[in-house]
Amino acid sequence: MIYPKIPLAQTVIQLCKAKNIQHIVISPGSRNAPLTLGFTNDDFFKCYSIVDERSAAFFALGIAQQLKHPVALVCTSGSALLNYYPAISEAFYSDIPLIVMSADRPKHLIDIGDGQTINQKFVFENHILYSANLKLDLKDEKNIPENEELPIMKNLEDKLERFLGFQKDIQSHNEFEINTAINNALMQSGPVHVNIPFDEPLYETVDKLTVEPKASEVVIKPKQIDSYTLQECLEYWNSYSKKMILVGVNAPNQIEQRWLDEIAKDDSVIVFTETTSNLHEDSFFPSIDQMIAPLSEDEQKQLQPDVLLTFGGLIVSKKIKALLRKFQPKHHWHIDKKRANDTFFCLSMHVETTPNHFFETVLPKITHYVKSNYKDDWSLVRKKRLEKHESYLKAIPYSDFKVFDVILKSIPDNSILQVGNSSAIRYTQLFSINKTLEVFCNRGTSGIDGCTSTAVGCAAISNKPTVFITGDLSFLYDSNGLWNNYIPNNFRIIVINNQGGGIFRILPGQKNTDNFDYFFETKHNLNAKHLSNMYGFEYASAKTERQLKNKLQAFYSESEEPKLLEVFTPRTINDEVLLSYFEYIK
């Protein structure tokens, strides 16, 4: 087998292998050549070549999102590393494990005007679980540890022994730092950064390893609920007649069905689920904005819970956040192994465990259900909302709202649905979702910058067909996500093209002015046809509801190429249709 000659590169690669870090996303460069040579010449690793580092990082995020296991990123020195930052921040807030490996120049070449060189140490400090800064291997007397000098020695043997001692210390330091970084990614499920200095020559190889690094064991102990917390939860749960469970971003199959069934029996509990929660039960309340947007202030007050229990990632709905900040619960508990965001400014308890463990610990100990009309009252409201929702769909013209209704009903069972940010996820939230779908969206930082690349990474690793729904600006912004040799033929993209950033027409602002059109909505006349042809996608378009339904009939069928369907909607009526919706369903 071929190995890089540099011991530090061997150490990094062998420790990744020992910890089962199998998927490696590499962007081309010279300074990272020792790592590239090592990873690509070992059949244990599945290596991907993605030129654009920003796209590469989101591609890796899409893989890690599905595997729930760390994926490594490898780049050269300089600004290449900074292009990882959007995906790193998304991974940090979405609890997705990434291992960022940046090649660096030796210390004596930094800040002297050498090309492709920046200060790489701690560059992601505010959005990283751990930063490991490795030390350069010693090759000669010039490469000595910081603040160390080799004394002039008369005896060459003494000089060599001292030199080897330095190298041993460096090797121990590097092994410790690499182990710590990877273990943090594994245990805390988030991004870590390993900065790796290499000196030239970079391309030399050997056929035998010269180092044998030791992998430290990863021990993940499930956190148990202490008796005091358990008793407090049971006391309040058994006392109050208005309890709300609100679920944000949540991976599929995280909660056992028996606990969902148990919660559904309790009339004092209402469960609000976002599209990204991947939770389904007939008595739960999806489409949160549909439910609460038309409420009067008195009705909002009636909805105010005594106990609010939250779990999952960030919440899309601004309306539920506004309601719960105005009418705060007496108690807000958040269940998560890692963090508890005080989203509603009234957090009273962070239960550091998994939601499933919380329910399996607490629910069997609930002795009785509190008598309450809380769920029944709001179930009647939901029924009326759904009736008005269907009635509205029959009355409106062709628009974004109508298009999302048609598309979401068309997606085949057991698909993965990736949704772009901005308007795409907000429209999706207003509709009932097929229970067999697995839904994902980059809600950690809610940016449009890597949605396409993430969806491609997901599709590349998943055995299920993946459908990606996105807006035109989001798609064009991340069009390099299609510069990728790993897109499966069953990948489908639906671009809703309303010729600009349509969400800004919904927000307060001076619409239909040159300033608004140019700087906010960013009106354009672009389309995805030429990009589709360049990247080998089968392209189709639709401009009416009838065309859309006709094109969707064949869109999901098997093909020799991935497919892209571009749906053009009228630019200036979408905001009116959406805003009128909330008035209509009152």
pLDDT tens track for 130-187: 999 999 988 744 444 455 444 444 455 555 555 556 878 999 999 999 999 999 999 9
Tell me the C-alpha to C-alpha distance, in Å, between residue 270 and each of 244, 256, 310, 411, 499: 5, 18, 12, 28, 39
**Cα distances (angstroms) measured from residue 360 to each of 255, 260, 367, 581:** 10, 11, 14, 40
Average pLDDT, rounded, for the chain: 93
Alpha-carbon distance 530 to 242, whole Å?
55
Reported confidence tier of residue 369, pLDDT bands at 50, 70, 90: very high
SS (H, E, C) 206-217: ECCCCCCCCCCC
Residue 307 confidence (pLDDT) above 60: yes
Interatomic CA distance for residues 523 and 509, integer angstroms: 15
Mean pLDDT in residue range 470-495: 97
Which helix (H) or strand (E) segment is 497 a member of?
strand 491-497
Query: Using only C-alpha atoms, what is the Rg of the chain?
Result: 27
pLDDT top residue among 153 and 329: 329
Mean pLDDT of 493-497: 97
Q: What is the pLDDT of residues 189-212, one digit of tens each?
A: 999 999 999 999 999 999 999 999
Residue 431 scores a pLDDT above 70: yes
* Residue 314 confidence (pLDDT) above 60: yes
207-222: string of b/e by CB count within 10 Å (b at 16+)?
eeeebebebbeeeeee
Please tell me the predicted confidence (pLDDT) of residue 310: 98
Query: For a pLDDT cut of 70, what percent of the chain falls above it?
Result: 95
**Edge-to-edge, what's the strand order for the sheet holding 563-568?**
438-440, 416-419, 466-471, 491-497, 563-568, 538-542
pLDDT tens, 243-273?
999 999 999 999 999 999 999 999 999 999 9
Q: Which range is most confident: 328-332, 517-521, 568-572?
A: 328-332
pLDDT band at 90 (very low <50, low <70, confident <90, very high): very high
C-alpha of 62 from chain center:
7
Q: Are strands 347-351 and 331-335 parallel, antiparallel or unpaired?
A: parallel
This prediction has a pTM of: 0.93
d(C-alpha 209, C-alpha 41), whole Å? 13
With a cut of 80, say whether residue 560 has pLDDT above it. yes
pLDDT at position 501 is: 77
Omega of the bond prior to 86 within 30 degrees of 0, cis? no
**Domains of the chain from N-terminus onward:** 3-202 (3.40.50.970), 227-379 (3.40.50.1220), 396-584 (3.40.50.970)
Whether the pLDDT of residue 536 is over 90: the answer is yes
Residue 271, phi then psi, degrees to nearest 5: -115, 115
* pLDDT for residue 259: 96
Residue 160: the pLDDT is: 54
**Interatomic CA distance for residues 466 and 68, integer angstroms:** 17
Higher pLDDT, 115 or 250: 250
116 has pLDDT over 90: no
Per-residue pLDDT band for 122 (boundaries 50, 70, 90) equals very high
Both tokens assigned to 480: 């390099």
Q: C-alpha distances in angstroms, 111 versus 101, 106, 148, 510?
A: 21, 11, 20, 47
What distance separates the 2 farthest-apart alpha carbons in the chain? 95
List helix spans (H) across 208-264: 227-237, 257-264
Please tell me whether residue 270 adopts helix, strand or coil conformation.
strand
pLDDT at residue 288 greater than cutoff 90? yes
